[in-house]
Structure 1
Amino acid sequence: MDASVELLRAVEQELRNAGLSSESRVISFDSINSEQLQANNDVCWYAIHTKRVDWRRRKKWLSIMTEQSMSAKGNFGQDMLSPLQVPAAYVHVANRIRQSILLGKALPGDRLPPERQLAESLGVSRVTVREALRVLQGEGLISTSRGNAGGTFIKDLESSREERILKLVNAKSELAHIHELRLALEPMAAGLAAKRASSDVLQHLEVVQASLYSSTGVATFRQADSAFHLGVAAASGNPCILAAVEDARARLFTALDVSDFRVHQETSGRAHAEILAALREGDTASASTAMAEHLEQAWNEITEIVEDYERQVRVPAS
């Protein structure tokens, strides 16, 4: 028996079982309500698409069943038109300044520009800037003083190393997600940079590499390390990759703050040198591989810190 004929007969039987009569191969609409359509959705869709019902019935059924389908999929139309939760302007300003601090673009002790200058540069009011600074001050990232030598300054971390490690332990799952994101992004960025980096970009990365070796503390190391990774991401020529790498780097600062930066300084220095060598040669495969190995090594160092602390204080692994 032809498969299509067998399928049609099976559909007819299902329609009869569902209480839907068949007249001259055209299904009667008289006794069908929306509940029956919903209960026999698959059968009815098949009947519509194989034109087992006339066009008037198809139009009516499609109207009812499409509405039901939209509702079953989460009221897409309603979700699309629901009110947007748009952050206030000061939230965006605070996020911009916070990211610069966490990326090491601004170091402890650095003075932020005056409110008026920040407002003009960011295209917002001074009230908005003032509210953003109040948020950052509450987070312990900045401090404000008055007088001739006053202003708004980037603060150094005041928490103990144990407090920072505990924070890292609590954020381990999130950091693992960020690590996976970096593994997806940065090796690709390095491969693209090997093809696209200009001599000026390579020279800039050399300067950054030298500053990493000469860093004397966590803050200056973080600044140089971020500058290198962001420099490679920028050299990829893909602004989407750069933006994603910036976001991921900003959320990793806790990991750097709890470990001995000299360990990172040594291992990162060697890894960066390998990446730079591949970029100079224009070797995309080697650049990607070197970056991936560097990220894995850095993650292993972070994991060791967490696991060692968990063993000491018997904190259950998350």
Structure 2
Amino acid sequence: MTPLADALFRPVRVGNAFEETVERLMRAIRLGAVGPGERLPAERELARRLGVSRVTLREAIRSLQDEGFVESRRGRYGGTFVTASVPVAPAGGHVPAGELLDAVTLRSVLETGAAECAAGRALGAVDRRDLLARLAECRDAAVDEYRRKDSRLHLAIAEATGSASLTAAVADVRMRVNELLDRIPLLPRNLAHSNEQHEVIVTRILAGDAEAARRAMAEHLDGTALLLRGFLT
């Protein structure tokens, strides 16, 4: 393994282990640390380096295999190999790092603040029902409508703050982020994880725990930012 690959395959954090594993693998592929036709480190070794379970690693590799970035080969000289022709991006192209950073930073500031503010308010029955309804819609959404339902939930959280200006700002930044999200694949494991995080966020808001709601939203947004960086920069 090259020194670059050594640096890239460093331990990931716990909260978004799947998303960060995908980001690590994509960065290694994008930077040429593991080139077209070359084999990734053995599963046991790679899981150890990344500090993740082999189940998490397999889910990440399977997701990239489904999108055409890697392929599995059987036999004595088998393993997981980077495909000979790596896709440029599933539905788009390279995004300048500064442009991506600007969008995800603004989103983080606005939406973590919105979650904290919503949790700090004495929410009425209508707001509470709306949050739970949007949460259920997102959880039950088909893949092709997931991003729309996801947007509705995040906007419902902003609306629960009672600030029309904040809601408008969240809507604006969500439009920017959705344009970026449309360029990357929908990974089933990521969607399941997002729904788990949504449940935590809404539960914290309804319980009136402002600090926990903020932390939960920050962790959730970090997962999305990791995938955007992995696929687009």
Aligned letter for 2:141? S
Q: 2 CA distance for matches of 1:161 and 1:263?
A: 22
Alignment size in residue pairs = 145
What amino acid is the match of 1:298?
T
Alignment partner of 1:276 is 2:221 = no
Deviation at 1:301, TM superposition (A): 1.8
Structure 2 letter corresponding to 1:206: L
Unaligned runs of 5+ in 1: 1-159, 307-316
How many Å separate the matches in 2 of 1:250 and 1:193? 21
Cα offset for 1:193? 0.5
RMSD (CA atoms): 2.1
Specify whether residues 261 and 223 from structure 1 end up closer, same or farther in structure 2 by C-alpha distance, changes over 3 A only.
Answer: farther
* Equivalent residue letter for 1:301: L
> Residues 181-218 of structure 1: CA distance to partner in whole angstroms, max 9, x if unpaired?
11111111111101223232122121212221222223
- Partner residue of 1:244 out of 148, 169, 184: 169
Deviation string, structure 1 residues 88-113 (Cα, Å, up to 9, x no partner): xxxxxxxxxxxxxxxxxxxxxxxxxx
Residue aligned with 1:170, SS: coil
Q: How does 1:110-259 map to 2 (within 5 A)?
A: 162=89, 164-166=91-93, 169-170=94-95, 172-196=97-121, 197-218=123-144, 220-257=145-182, 258-259=184-185
- 2:8 corresponds in structure 1 to none
**Partner letter of residue 202 of structure 1?**
R
Task: Specify the alignment match of 1:285 in structure 2.
Answer: 211
Higher RCO by CA contacts (8 Å cutoff, separation 6 or greater): 2
Distance 1:230 1:171 in 2: 27
Letter of the aligned partner of 2:98 in structure 1? S
TM, length-normalised to structure 1? 0.42
Task: Please give the secondary structure, in 1, of the residue aligned with 2:91.
Answer: helix
In structure 2, what is the Cα distance between the partners aligned to 1:222 and 1:290? Answer: 19
Secondary structure, in 3 states, of the residue corresponding to 1:165?
A: coil
> Are residues 236 and 188 of structure 1, via their aligned partners in 2, closer, same or farther at CA, if it must alter by over 3 Å?
same
Q: Which runs of 5+ in 2 are unaligned?
A: 1-86
Contact in 2 for aligned 1:191/1:284 (Cα 8 Å)? yes
Contact 1:275–1:290 (CA under 8 A) maintained in structure 2: yes
Which consecutive aligned stretches of 4+ in structure 1 deviate over 3 angstroms post-superposition? 160-163
Alignment of 1:22-41 (within 5 A): none
Taking only the aligned residue pairs, the percentage that are identical comes to 28
State the alpha-carbon separation in 2 of the partners of residues 207 and 161 from structure 1.
38
